[in-house]
């Protein structure tokens, strides 16, 4: 028999996330040889804050919901390197262009879910040079492998960033509190995903060089 908390459609989603999270934790344990570490021995940096979504009586805290919406407004309206304030659309696992109204609606709808207990605001940085699309792809892959699929995020990288350090602001709600090992696992997965992304981009560049070389040789042969 399955565990009762994993019954039904929403339960199967929770089970899937739990399996992914367990895998990420095991990977972090292997990478660190099972040793716990208080320091950050990874390139990836993860910083978080959280607030309680509900009162002890189970009612949604309107103040927490508003705090999350205010944070989203702040993340989306950061200035660029020249100090010019501009709006950055949010993104999630499947969308590139979430408007401020869609972001606010997501926060409100997530807060109404019974399983939403903690509201997290997370900053993730790969610790490597990335443009806006690259850091979005990296964040999506890292979060997915860690079992976080319902979120809104804002990318700060490339020519419109307010800092040279590419990073992403991520907002999500969950039932269980993230522990020290969760953040450690997330950093390890983040490093692995940035390595995979860099390797894939180098391979793509190599293929482009080969293709260009073949085209030049073909043109020389035709001209001869």
**30 within a domain of the structure (yes/no):** no
What was the pLDDT predicted at 41? 83
CA 105 to CA 58: how far, in whole Å?
21
List C-alpha distances in Å: 205 to 14, 199, 217, 218: 39, 10, 18, 20
**Domain membership flag for residue 11:** no
> Residue 158's pLDDT is what?
79
Q: Residue 34: pLDDT above 70? A: no
Task: Indicate the pTM of the whole model.
Answer: 0.73
3-state secondary structure of 200: helix
DSSP 19-45: HHHHHHHHHHHHHTTT---SS--SS-E
Residue 194 lies in a domain: yes
Is residue 67 situated within a structural domain?
yes
Residue 77 C-alpha from the chain's centroid = 19
**Maximum CA extent, the chain:** 84
Residue bearing tokens 């020519």: 159
Over range 77-82, report the average pLDDT: 77
pLDDT at residue 93, as a whole number: 94
8 occurs within a structural domain = no
Q: Is residue 9 part of a domain?
A: no
Task: Return the half-sphere exposure (C-beta side, CA atoms, 13 A cut-off) of residue 40.
Answer: 15
% residues pLDDT > 70 (the chain): 72
pLDDT band at 43 (very low <50, low <70, confident <90, very high): very high
pLDDT at 197 over 60: yes
Residue 27 belongs to a domain:
no
CA-based torsion, 103, 113, 168, 66: positive or negative: positive
Give me the number of domains the chain comprises: 1
Expressed as residue numbers, the domain containing 95 is: 41-179+188-219
Residue 4 lies in a domain: no
Q: What mean pLDDT comes out for the span 36-51?
A: 76
Q: Report the C-alpha gap between 126 and 145 in whole angstroms.
A: 15
């Amino acid at each position: 028999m399955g565990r009762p908390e994993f019954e039904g459609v929403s339960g199967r989603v929770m089970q899937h996330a739990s399996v992914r999270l367990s895998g990420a934790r095991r990977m972090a344990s292997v990478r660190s040889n099972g040793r716990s570490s208080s320091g950050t021995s990874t390139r990836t940096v993860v910083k978080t804050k959280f607030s309680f979504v509900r009162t002890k009586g189970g009612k949604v805290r309107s103040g927490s919901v508003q705090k999350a919406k205010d944070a989203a407004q702040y993340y989306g309206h950061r200035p660029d390197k020249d100090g010019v304030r501009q709006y950055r659309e949010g993104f999630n696992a499947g969308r590139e262009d979430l408007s401020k109204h869609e972001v606010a609606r997501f926060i409100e709808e997530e807060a109404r879910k019974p399983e939403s207990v903690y509201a997290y605001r997370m900053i993730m940085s790969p610790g490597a040079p990335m443009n806006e699309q690259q850091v979005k792809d990296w964040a999506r892959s890292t979060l997915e492998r860690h079992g976080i699929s319902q979120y809104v995020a804002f990318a700060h990288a490339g020519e419109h960033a307010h800092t040279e350090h590419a990073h992403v602001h991520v907002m999500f709600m969950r039932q269980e509190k993230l522990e020290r090992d969760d953040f450690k696992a997330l950093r390890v997965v983040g490093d692995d995903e940035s390595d995979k992304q860099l390797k894939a981009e180098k391979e793509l560049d190599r293929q482009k060089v080969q293709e260009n070389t073949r085209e030049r040789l073909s043109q020389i042969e035709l001209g001869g």
